[in-house]
Structure 1
Amino acid sequence: MMKKLILAFCMLQGILLSLGAQDMHQNIAYADNNVRFTVISDGTLRLEYAPDGKFVDNKSFVAVNRLYPDVDYKLKSKGAWIEITTSKMRMRYKKDSGQFTGDNLMIEAVKGAFPFTWKPGVQQKGNLKGTYRTLDGMDGETQTQTWVADTKKGEQLKLEDGLLATDGWSFIDDSQGLLFDNDPDWEWAKERPANGGQDWYFMAYGHDYKQALKDYTLFAGKMPLPPRYAFGYWWSRYWLYSDKEFRNLIDNFSTYQIPLDVLVVDMDWHYTEKGKGGWTGWTWNRDLFPNPQGFLKYLKQNDLKITLNLHPADGVAAYEENYTEMAKDMGVDPETKKTIPWVNSDKKFIRSMFKNILGPMEKDGVDFWWLDWQQGMFDPKMKNLSNTWWINYAFFSDMEKRRETRPMLYHRWGGLGNHRYQVGFSGDAVISWKSLDFQPYFNSTASNVLYGYWSHDLGGHIGSQIDPEMYTRWLQFGALSPIMRTHSQKGAKLNKEPWVFNKEYCDIIRETIRQRYVMAPYIYTMARKGYDDGISLCRPMYYDYPENKEAYEFRNEY
């Protein structure tokens, strides 16, 4: 009987999936030898010009969906102009006039829709901004450290442009964007043909920002729903912890009845190459963790999820425990003790890493990885391949392929399209009121690129001591942030364990963490809504009050 029920369920599921597939279409409204226009939604068009007649059907880093729901539109192609009209806009292109320019292409609002007129070259005036790769060394919006490559000391942080603007329209140029190669086993990066083509997306939405984001997910993909445990409390501290010290820490959380879901183990868990400095390592430090498997088993017995910090950039050195296996896979003689370089675009190398190093540690109990990539922004072997963007994809997609559990990653923002690989690590901000003041705004603008799961170093990272009042306020902000994780740089005076503060602050901190768990069912439900609709947990007030100037001016409210 049970087998029959299972079979019936599978058949029904197949029918539903089939129906869903039948409801999706290419929606190509017009195509000739050199141009192709696709209606993604009533507010979104894809516009392609291919001088050699070869259009791109592969997924791109930005656009991973090529099939869309039915859209009601009208096409007029008689005469000299092609005209496509939806409920929100009208596009006109002059036939056989070559690449798109301000002379042969125009998109404008239809009567009754939010008014605009756009031609190629027209610039937005009211972009509502997106996010940025890192807050490393930032004191509020100002760079105070010289060791960070993104900005110079004293410079103000310039957030990337986002998907939304008060202009009521947005334009995305994907003409130079890298593609996926359609490998059914594991899709990998490939360069786009250098044929002088244009691959554009135009979005018209007026001030219906929520609809714009949902339309974006139609071609750019959804925000994955993180596992339930991600919305609990995370403990993280850059400290030379030993196995015993971690066990004492966990015992104290239990004694003080403070809930904890995720333990973040920073980079000192592993050895680094002696005499060479650096942060890369793949072998447990047996001085601190004599029995790594036993340590991980203990954490599992305490219902904790574990992530380890990785700085992969320096590759795999000869002293690593699994070096021999890696070397053989890569065709390197292990006797040469030659370091195996980390090359993100090398699928053979990445496969070997998961087979020989990362996969076995996952079997021992590591739940997800903290990718702390900071060095070398671009791959040495593939032009324009962002190391940050691609390493995020490689790790997340590997988890999708190999694991039965819902994948999660903890990493730095790599650019448009990285919303498909949560959760973000915002970097090493300065311990200051300025930093605390800036982070609510930083949370909310990230939703404008669907990057809805920033994890900040609550309480700040860079500093010499902790102000209990500041830290308590910061933690309260963290309870109303997507991810609640404390962290700090290595320093004896930067201990944020709740019980090291006096009773007044300890009680407030404890209660703040416990209140997070009271809100968790609501937070998790709204995270599912984010998956469905593209609306982040923490979003700006102008999503709901787009005509109120206060919704734009009071930027720390979300």
Structure 2
Amino acid sequence: MRFIYIRLVFVLVLVSSSFIKVKAQNVEYKAFEQKNAQTVLVETSDGFYQFEFLNSASLQVSFLAEASANIESSHAVEVSKSNISIDPKVTANNLEFSTYGIGVKVQKQPFEIRYLYKGEELLKHKNGFSTDEVKVDFKVDENEILMGGGARALGMNRRGHKLPLYNRAHYGYETRSEQMNFSLPIVFSSKKYLLHFDNPTTGSLDLDSQFNNTLVYEASSGAKRFQLIAADDWETILENYTDLTGKQALPARWTLGNFASRFGYHSQEETEMTVAKFKEEQIPLDAVILDLYWFGNEVMGTMGNLKFEKDSFPNPERMMKRFKDKGIKTVLITEPFMLTSSNRWDESVQADVLVKDSTGNAATYDFFFGNTALIDVFNPIAKNWFWNIYKGLKKQGATGWWGDLGEPEVHPEHLLHYGNQKAYEVHNIYGTEWAKLIFENYQNEFPKERPFILMRAGYSGAQKYGMMPWSGDVNRSWGGLQSQPEISLQMGMQGLAYMHSDLGGFAGDLLDDELYVRWLQYGVFQPIYRPHAQEDVAAEPVFRSKDAKNLAKKAIELRYQLLPYNYHLAFQNSTKALPLMRPLFMEEPNNFLLYGISKTYLWGNDFLISPILEAKQTLKKVYFPSTNNWFDFYTHEKYEGGQFAYVQTQKESIPTYVRGGAFIPLAEIHQTTEDYQFNNITFKYYFDEKVEASQRSFYNDDGKTAKSFEDDAYEMLHFKIEHFNEISELQIEHQVEKNYTTDLDEIHLEFINWKKRPISVQVNGKTISFEYENHTLFLKKISISEEKTQVLIRH
């Protein structure tokens, strides 16, 4: 019987395959038209392919039923006017058009479309767009590595998986999660291209799950459109992708500091006691986050109140002012659900701000927290109503916003949103629209402020609304920790560079100090430093064992020392879309072995990080990229690039290395970023004989005013060093823009791996004293009062 079943399946597969081939061969090429300098329209028997060159590296492809059909507007992509001009080449059986980089080759008979980069094939349509459904497929190379699809825990190479495009929370996940809060319709390939399927409706992304070298995108409805971006390097691909979908605004400096958070603080007294404990232990702190108890004494039945519970928070204004006076910001959780038991239920119904059912009434249904309706963030009236709540809380003293459950966590299919939009049409963009509501109102009403918007779900392009995503309710376990670098690295390559985790893990009551410390040590080198967990076991270091507390304190202090480096990473992300956490393959894009590695990564350009992800691990296998030699950040031991090495682990830190030729700035340790100054910083230079010259720059502004860079209210410190036979010359340029007043007057320099004691050191022609010990040269209190400073070191 089983034999007959297998034969039947085989026959069905053959029939299905034959049908597909016949369908593809039945598509006939008819004609083409060049609509403008950068757009070509190709007519087929099935419909029209429109190819629009957005720049030399980006191509938008749309499939239209009619040549004059309107193209649906995009929720993610904003296409600016292109200055590209193409010249189609026509032969008897081919039509070709391209920029210097990306190109299209259309074969007329049998009809086929191929996409090229600098003449080399990237991929080709297998059957093209479907006429009766939103579906398109591609033929991919047999050994091609496929990544993307948003936040998942599947390994870096996600080929072989069919990924649902439906944002959904996964409580307590560990090493594997096929569906999470950010399901982005994006694929990027080891062949150095990125595909963005520009349609937010629910669907699927099949990355060759049938192992027949086929990539398939399907959606429930909406536009038949994608963007293809290709370049020689990943930096250019990311910059071009975010030119289309938007770049993340530079966040306030305090967001790079330490947060106190748990589920949750039950009272004003408990919150103030926790902050006081941080001050007592002298552990730096910049923000405290209030989970849902701020608006209700109970978990059940209070969601939607969105007002401080006076019994437990009798004077929130005074509390938040006291915190602010200490340099500590208050962040409040908010949810989009309005329970029928909420104090605001009648108000929300009368204001007509809730998602409706088919009868036109507020649609109610049951979920974990009670009987509820959903705030319709697509409705202009609801947006204004919701924003006025935020504005009122801001007036009371709140500084940042946490948007939870925004998938939305429960979102029945029968719900009808503003404009008669069905739930499946807007489900994936609900979180993004929510962030947009807050971000744009800040731009309109508080244009000088940089909002903090922590969100659990969203869609491609959400970064342009300042969204800070996190990886959801990860299990408090080693398995939970092990998946975190992969999730952040993948999301950074898809534009959302601030993806981070609940440090220490969220779900469960495991008390494991080693796991906790290793997670917080990893957190130094991930975008947002926010320990958070269920309250059964403390998330805050001040309530852990003495040993765990001291090790956590050391990690947090390093985080604060790295503020000048990390703030420059944030600046680079806001201007060029470079992720803060970068996969190794960005360093060696043609080394296919590196596409599978997430357990070692780059933090910015100059740190190589290999977190400890296993219990009692004494040796860690680390790959050192071939582009440079690398130095142990703590011992200064040198490692040759282009090799794997087993390194001894240390209790006090995770394996951390610095690129040869790099300058690493270390600030003084402050208890809050409010006390930070871009002054008295120690710049460590890592000398390597193979690096004859190197240069680095570091950005600084007031850390809080929006558009400081655009408004010329910033400074940059530029370093350029060159080594000659008898002398090394360091040029320091201090660039201060017209609308900025600097505090910088002196810095300190340390030259690591400096082979011998110098004969002399001169600064701007004057000989100065120096210290030399253990192959390190120390130059203290170098004046930066002048625009340019020259340091000459005679060997």
Scaled by the length of structure 2, the TM-score of the pair is 0.56
Question: Is this contact kept in 2: 1:265–1:308, CA < 8 A?
Answer: yes
Consecutive unaligned residues in structure 1, runs of 5 or more: 1-25, 144-148, 152-156, 179-193
Which segment is superposed worse, 120-129 or 27-36? 27-36
Q: 1:137 aligns with which of 136, 158, 171?
A: 171
Change (3 A) 1:267 1:139: same
Deviation at 1:269, TM superposition (A): 0.4
**1:359 aligned partner:** 391
**2:533 aligned partner:** 488
Change (3 A) 1:135 1:479: farther
Which segment is superposed worse, 302-311 or 482-491? 302-311
Q: State the distance in 1 between where 2:336 and 2:192 align.
A: 41
The one-character-per-residue Cα deviations of 1:350-406 (angstroms, maximum 9, x if unpaired) are 211222x22111111112211112523476321310233332332333333322202
The one-character-per-residue Cα deviations of 1:174-218 (angstroms, maximum 9, x if unpaired) are 26769xxxxxxxxxxxxxxx9997433222335x22211111112
The one-character-per-residue Cα deviations of 1:208-247 (angstroms, maximum 9, x if unpaired) are 2221111111211112222111111111011343212222
Deviation at 1:278, TM superposition (A): 6.1
Deviation at 1:419, TM superposition (A): 2.7
**2:581 aligned partner:** 538
**1:314 aligned partner:** 338
**2:78 aligned partner:** 64
**2:677 aligned partner:** none
SS at match of 2:457: coil
Deviation at 1:328, TM superposition (A): 5.0
Deviation at 1:426, TM superposition (A): 1.7
Change (3 A) 1:439 1:268: same
Q: State the distance in 1 between where 2:573 and 2:325 align.
A: 32
Q: How does 1:354-393 map to 2 (within 5 A)?
A: 354-355=387-388, 357-373=389-405, 374-377=408-411, 380-381=416-417, 382-383=421-422, 384-386=425-427, 387-393=430-436
**1:4 aligned partner:** none
**1:44 and 2:58 are equivalent in the alignment:** yes
SS at match of 2:331: strand
Higher strand share: 2
Question: Is this contact kept in 2: 1:139–1:431, CA < 8 A?
Answer: no
Larger radius of gyration: 2
Question: Is this contact kept in 2: 1:51–1:195, CA < 8 A?
Answer: no
Question: Is this contact kept in 1: 2:305–2:343, CA < 8 A?
Answer: no
**1:430 and 2:430 are equivalent in the alignment:** no
Q: State the distance in 2 between where 1:305 and 1:341 align.
A: 29
Deviation at 1:526, TM superposition (A): 1.0
**2:455 aligned partner:** 411
Q: 1:400 aligns with which of 428, 439, 443?
A: 443
SS at match of 1:164: strand
**2:97 aligned partner:** 84
Question: Is this contact kept in 1: 2:114–2:121, CA < 8 A?
Answer: no
Question: Is this contact kept in 1: 2:303–2:342, CA < 8 A?
Answer: no
Q: State the distance in 2 between where 1:489 and 1:196 align.
A: 40
The one-letter code matched in structure 2 to 1:465 is L
The one-letter code matched in structure 2 to 1:354 is W
Q: 1:126 aligns with which of 118, 134, 145?
A: 145
The one-character-per-residue Cα deviations of 1:141-188 (angstroms, maximum 9, x if unpaired) are 246xxxxx958xxxxx9986744201333433326769xxxxxxxxxx
Question: Is this contact kept in 2: 1:260–1:304, CA < 8 A?
Answer: yes
The one-character-per-residue Cα deviations of 1:73-111 (angstroms, maximum 9, x if unpaired) are 44447988653222223313479x9xxxx8253323434
Q: 1:347 aligns with which of 380, 398, 420?
A: 380
Q: State the distance in 2 between where 1:498 and 1:414 align.
A: 30
Q: State the distance in 2 between where 1:228 and 1:27 align.
A: 44
Change (3 A) 1:474 1:289: same
Q: State the distance in 2 between where 1:553 and 1:269 align.
A: 43
Q: State the distance in 1 between where 2:349 and 2:226 align.
A: 43
SS at match of 1:455: coil
**1:107 aligned partner:** 115
**1:7 aligned partner:** none
SS at match of 2:378: coil
The one-letter code matched in structure 2 to 1:359 is K
Q: 2:247 aligns with which of 212, 219, 222?
A: 222
SS at match of 1:395: helix
User: What is the Cα-based RMSD across aligned positions, in Å?
Assistant: 3.5
**1:116 and 2:122 are equivalent in the alignment:** yes
Question: Is this contact kept in 2: 1:233–1:262, CA < 8 A?
Answer: yes
The one-letter code matched in structure 1 to 2:541 is P
Deviation at 1:61, TM superposition (A): 1.3
Q: State the distance in 2 between where 1:487 and 1:273 align.
A: 19
Change (3 A) 1:55 1:233: farther
Change (3 A) 1:344 1:315: farther
Q: State the distance in 2 between where 1:176 and 1:53 align.
A: 24
Higher helix share: 1
Question: Is this contact kept in 1: 2:336–2:375, CA < 8 A?
Answer: yes
**1:184 aligned partner:** none
**1:168 and 2:192 are equivalent in the alignment:** yes
% identical equivalent positions: 21
Change (3 A) 1:554 1:327: closer
Deviation at 1:134, TM superposition (A): 6.7
Question: Is this contact kept in 2: 1:433–1:470, CA < 8 A?
Answer: yes
Scaled by the length of structure 1, the TM-score of the pair is 0.78
Q: 1:269 aligns with which of 294, 305, 315?
A: 294
Change (3 A) 1:35 1:470: closer
Q: 1:28 aligns with which of 35, 38, 43?
A: 38
Question: Is this contact kept in 2: 1:164–1:212, CA < 8 A?
Answer: no
Change (3 A) 1:110 1:53: same
Which segment is superposed worse, 414-423 or 403-412? 414-423
The one-letter code matched in structure 2 to 1:509 is A
Aligned residue-pair number: 490
Question: Is this contact kept in 2: 1:29–1:75, CA < 8 A?
Answer: no
Q: State the distance in 2 between where 1:142 and 1:32 align.
A: 43
Question: Is this contact kept in 2: 1:65–1:221, CA < 8 A?
Answer: no
Flag the structure with more relative contact order, 1 or 2, with Cα contacts below 8 A and sequence separation at least 6: 1
Q: How does 1:406-485 map to 2 (within 5 A)?
A: 406-421=450-465, 422-485=467-530
Consecutive unaligned residues in structure 2, runs of 5 or more: 1-35, 129-136, 152-166, 203-219, 355-361, 365-371, 602-795
The one-letter code matched in structure 2 to 1:228 is R
Q: State the distance in 1 between where 2:324 and 2:187 align.
A: 41
Q: State the distance in 2 between where 1:439 and 1:259 align.
A: 24
Question: Is this contact kept in 1: 2:186–2:195, CA < 8 A?
Answer: no
Q: State the distance in 1 between where 2:444 and 2:563 align.
A: 28
Q: 2:226 aligns with which of 188, 200, 205?
A: 200
Q: State the distance in 1 between where 2:497 and 2:179 align.
A: 22
The one-character-per-residue Cα deviations of 1:260-301 (angstroms, maximum 9, x if unpaired) are 111111110012799x63644312111111112222222222
Q: State the distance in 2 between where 1:232 and 1:288 align.
A: 27
